[in-house]
């Protein structure tokens, strides 16, 4: 029988958790209740009480409650809950985790879920799920479900949603796991739709050389995941075709991966090839969500929910300086590929973002700041061109072979 862990604040959500517990039992699951509440005694008995959760987070529950600092309490209980879930996973007493909550409960639940390995079923029913979920999901595989109504009592709407959540967690826990055996070395690459032809060609060429290629959608969380896997040693090399998230970090776009983007491979000393894909754009939401300071800039509707803003010559020059600094800091082999035919599918000649002055500002600034040891290849192709992807793949393969020979020597 599978075990679903219910994690939540049983001082404020006892009725709702009791309802979900009963549905899970009806579905043939064992249930472990973990209480992360602080304000009062739980409304139903937990299997792991709040004192134990607080202790796992390094705090005393009595002191935490007496302080009356809700933010500190949420943070402490989230850390404790993460420790508890990881322990249950190691002890094979957790097949899935399900949590319910508003902003506080979601912060606790998802912080704990993110500590679990990828692939462990994680379901979060949250009133925050219809907004910006990135602070809660991050680069993890948390499944978020919007409850329509607040999690405050059982009614015809909430009952149906909670039924679905219980069924989802139970189904994930019971589903047979597909075992994929692949001992080929893994390479990470970055992509958006406007560089896809290049990345597809790169992936196919690297696979023909005997690698498994992991493609990360450069939407912020994707770049964070790429950096994390490189930092953790899962990747033997990186083909950073699309470092576009750096433009969002610079200009305040919605797809920033933070200032540490394009650093992990260099820190680890693994081979990397880098291009300039989609540095011609910054991502925003619908047109009415573009910041006032950018009104009047050249923009392009990518789809109804994403508006792209063309990077200016000044922004491109700054991006060149930042990228040069990151590549200069690399402790392993690195090669830069400069596409002469535009930075994305829409900045090729004739495209809406074609701007030779901005592209030149990026390249000139980058090459001026780059140390001589970094190999530079100018390619007569655009950043979305399959030929660029094939050239990057072949170079990276040779770099990996050389790196392996040096390590054996």
pTM of the model: 0.83
| pLDDT the model gives residue 183 | 86
- CA–CA gap between residue 31 and residue 28 (Å, rounded): 10
Bridge partner list, 48: 34
Q: Exposure of 367 by Cβ count < 10 A (0-12 exposed, 13-18 middle, 19+ buried)?
A: middle
* DSSP code string of 115-160: TSPTTS-EEEEETTTTS--HHHHTTS--EEE--SS-SSS--HHHHH
CATH for 186-408 is: 3.40.50.12030
pLDDT digits (tens, 9 = 90+) for 108-157: 999 999 999 989 999 999 999 998 898 999 888 999 999 999 999 999 99
| pLDDT the model gives residue 68 | 74
- CA–CA gap between residue 207 and residue 360 (Å, rounded): 33
Domain ranges of the chain: 3-174, 186-408
Bridge partner list, 100: 125
- CA–CA gap between residue 99 and residue 84 (Å, rounded): 14
Domain 3-174 and domain 186-408 have a common topology: yes
pLDDT digits (tens, 9 = 90+) for 352-393: 999 999 999 999 999 999 999 999 999 999 999 999 999 999
pLDDT digits (tens, 9 = 90+) for 232-269: 999 999 999 999 999 999 999 999 999 999 999 999 99
Starting at the edge strand that comes first in sequence, how are the strands of the sheet with 96-101 ordered? 30-35, 3-8, 96-101, 122-126, 143-145
Q: Which of 305, 129, 157 is nearest to 219 (CA)?
A: 305
Average pLDDT, the chain: 94
| pLDDT the model gives residue 167 | 98
CATH architecture classification, 3-174: 3-Layer(aba) Sandwich (3.40)
Q: Which two tokens stand for residue 186?
A: 């893994």
What percent of the chain stands above pLDDT 70?
100
306-310 and 281-284 beta bridge pairing: antiparallel
Starting at the edge strand that comes first in sequence, how are the strands of the sheet with 281-284 ordered? 281-284, 306-310, 299-303
């Amino acid at each position: 029988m599978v075990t679903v862990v219910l994690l939540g604040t049983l001082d404020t959500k006892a009725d709702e958790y009791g309802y979900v517990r009963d549905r899970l039992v009806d579905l043939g699951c064992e249930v472990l209740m973990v209480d992360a509440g602080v304000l009062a005694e739980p409304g139903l008995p937990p299997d792991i009480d709040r004192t134990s959760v607080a202790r796992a987070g390094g705090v005393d529950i009595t002191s935490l409650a007496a302080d009356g600092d809700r933010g500190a309490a949420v943070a402490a209980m989230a850390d404790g809950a993460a420790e508890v879930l990881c322990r249950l996973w190691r002890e094979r007493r957790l097949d899935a985790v399900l949590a319910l909550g508003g902003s506080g409960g979601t912060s606790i639940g998802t912080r704990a879920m993110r500590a679990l390995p990828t692939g462990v079923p994680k379901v979060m029913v949250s009133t925050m799920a219809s907004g910006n979920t990135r602070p809660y999901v991050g680069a993890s595989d948390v499944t978020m479900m919007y409850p329509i109504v607040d999690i405050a009592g059982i009614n015809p709407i909430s009952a149906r949603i909670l039924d679905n959540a219980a069924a989802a967690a139970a189904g994930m826990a019971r589903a047979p796991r597909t075992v994929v055996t692949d001992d080929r070395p893994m390479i990470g690459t970055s992509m958006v739709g406007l560089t896809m032809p290049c990345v597809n060609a790169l992936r196919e060429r690297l696979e023909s050389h005997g690698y498994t290629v992991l493609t990360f959608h450069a939407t912020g969380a994707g770049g964070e995941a790429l950096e994390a896997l490189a930092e953790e040693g899962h990747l033997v090399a990186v083909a950073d075709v699309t470092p576009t998230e750096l433009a969002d970090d610079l200009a305040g776009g919605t797809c920033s991966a933070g200032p540490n983007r394009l650093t992990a491979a260099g820190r680890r000393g693994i081979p990397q090839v880098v291009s300039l894909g989609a540095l011609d754009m910054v991502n925003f939401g619908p047109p009415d969500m573009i910041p006032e300071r950018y009104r009047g800039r050249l923009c392009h509707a990518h789809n109804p929910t994403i508006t792209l803003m063309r990077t200016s010559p000044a922004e491109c020059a700054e991006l060149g300086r930042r990228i040069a600094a990151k590549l200069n800091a690399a402790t392993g082999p690195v090669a830069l590929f400069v596409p002469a035919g535009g930075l994305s599918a829409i900045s090729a000649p004739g495209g809406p973002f074609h701007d030779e002055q901005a592209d030149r500002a990026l390249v000139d600034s980058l090459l001026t700041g780059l140390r001589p040891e970094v190999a530079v290849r100018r390619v007569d192709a655009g950043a979305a061109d399959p030929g660029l992807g094939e050239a990057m793949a072949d170079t990276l393969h040779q770099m990996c072979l050389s790196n392996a020979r040096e390590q054996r020597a």
